[in-house]
């Protein structure tokens, strides 16, 4: 299943979050499609595929003490429009 994660962190944790990003390895059961940093917003966004909720916890847990992770299932717009 496809997911979008947006993670907002407090400005005072910028260095800690950057260090963790550099060291972090995604679990094998997660396929990262792309990652973005929203400049000036203290927020990152990732689009990825995962098979289970357990995978989602593996991704968010290491970052939980520095900010709040939000995850939503997603589907390509073309696919969503075709369903109607």
Q: The whole model's pTM is what?
A: 0.81
- Read off the pLDDT of residues 35-54 as tens digits, 9 standing for 90 and up: 998 888 888 999 999 988 88
- Read off the pLDDT of residues 5-20 as tens digits, 9 standing for 90 and up: 999 988 899 899 889 9
Based on the structure, what is the number of domains in the chain? 1
- CB neighbour burial string for 26-64, b if at least 16 within 10 angstroms, e if fewer: eeeebeeeeeeeeeeebbbebebebeeeebbebbbeebe
- What domain range is 27 assigned to? 2-83
CATH number at residue 72: 3.30.70.1060
Between CA 82 and CA 35 the distance in angstroms is 27
């Amino acid at each position: 299943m496809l997911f979008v994660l947006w993670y907002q962190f407090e400005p005072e944790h910028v260095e800690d979050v950057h260090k963790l990003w550099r060291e972090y390895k995604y679990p094998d059961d997660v396929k990262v499609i792309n990652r973005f940093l929203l400049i000036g917003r203290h927020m990152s966004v990732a689009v990825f595929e995962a098979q289970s909720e357990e995978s989602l916890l593996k991704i968010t847990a290491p970052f939980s003490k520095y900010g709040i992770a939000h995850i939503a299932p997603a589907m390509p717009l073309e696919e969503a429009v075709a369903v109607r």
